[in-house]
Amino acid sequence: MEPPFRLIDLDRGSGPPPRPGQAVLVGVADRPRPVGGAFDVLLTAEPDPPRPWVGRADPGAAVALLREQVARQPAAAVTLVQVLRAGAALPAPDRLVLESLAYSALQGGAGFRDWLATAPARTPRPAAEPVRLHRDGGRLTVTLARPRVRNAFDAATRDALCEALEVAVADPTVTRVDLRGEGPAFCAGGDLAEFGTSRDPAAAHLVRVGRSPAALLQRCAAKVTAHLHGACVGAGIELAAFAGRVRAAPDTTVRLPELGMGLIPGAGGTASLPPRIGRRRTTYLALTGTALGAAEAFHWGLVDEIDTDTGRHAGRSGPQ
């Protein structure tokens, strides 16, 4: 069976506007040009193209990777683009509900079950204090504190982060929140030791929307600066992207790996990344699992400034 993937070569002349339907719709051109809003990904060979285009030296190789990923996880790929298309017309809080509903549906799907069947068993390594708080006047520092597992995001970390962010939301004397990660990485994403432990996707959906760091970050974003370093994978970039300002060390790498598990981003990424980098670049990152270094993440607008050991390297006036 052919994967739900449709490629249109925009250099071969114009035709009727495409309808995306039940497929991932990709457009490719030598040079960026205005196109309709139906495309899920737009690729060009031109370096440094404007948003929404993704520039790659070999667009053919990028197309092949996209086709391969869609063929491996067709249900997750189509669900991803449908969530991102629909989310563009929804208020920000509703995007989180839509994402969670889709994530729960995929948790019951064959793609996720197949991934679980081949994934190695992992032993949970809980931390006594997964999130550490420090208050200095109006400044609250929130630190993810599971460095042994690169601050992998488990249920205890989620709940502790919610408690910290509830303070930031409710207390008007908190005027600044610094979100940090202890150890070699800001956050390596969801704790794989917990994947598949929930047997009730419907109940898991209610937990996600009821205990949501993403929803709290949406409410206090103007106060929050996220300080990234090392790996920022899955939840590690999805949550950070809600912050009003994102600073990244030069060793920062960001990646969305969920599609390979038969899932879509589930920590708020379909709501937090599009306002910064656009729907189509978000789709490209999520479909391919491509890692962005600090420089490209800065150029795309996913981070607002890059810090070096000697101080500020570059900065933006605000989220892009």
User: Does the CA dihedral 72-78-81-87 come out positive or negative?
Assistant: negative
Distance, in Å, from the CA atom of 131 to the CA atom of 245, rounded to the nearest integer, reads 20
Distance, in Å, from the CA atom of 196 to the CA atom of 99, rounded to the nearest integer, reads 18
CATH class, 74-315 region: alpha beta
Residue 15's pLDDT band, with cuts at 50, 70 and 90, is low
pTM for the model: 0.94
Look at residue 312 in the predicted model and tell me its pLDDT.
41
Residue 311's pLDDT band, with cuts at 50, 70 and 90, is very low
Residue span(s) of the chain under CATH 3.90.226.10 come to 74-315
For 270, phi then psi, to 5°, come to -75, -10
Percent of the residues in the chain that have a pLDDT greater than 90, as a whole number: 89
Residue 21 has pLDDT above 50, yes or no: yes
Question: Mean pLDDT throughout 274-303?
Answer: 97
Whether the CB-CB separation of 161 and 131 falls below 8 Å is answered with: yes
More confident residue, 252 or 199: 252
Would you call 34 exposed, middle or buried from its count of C-beta atoms within 10 A (0-12, 13-18, 19+)?
exposed
More confident residue, 241 or 14: 241
Would you call 162 exposed, middle or buried from its count of C-beta atoms within 10 A (0-12, 13-18, 19+)?
middle
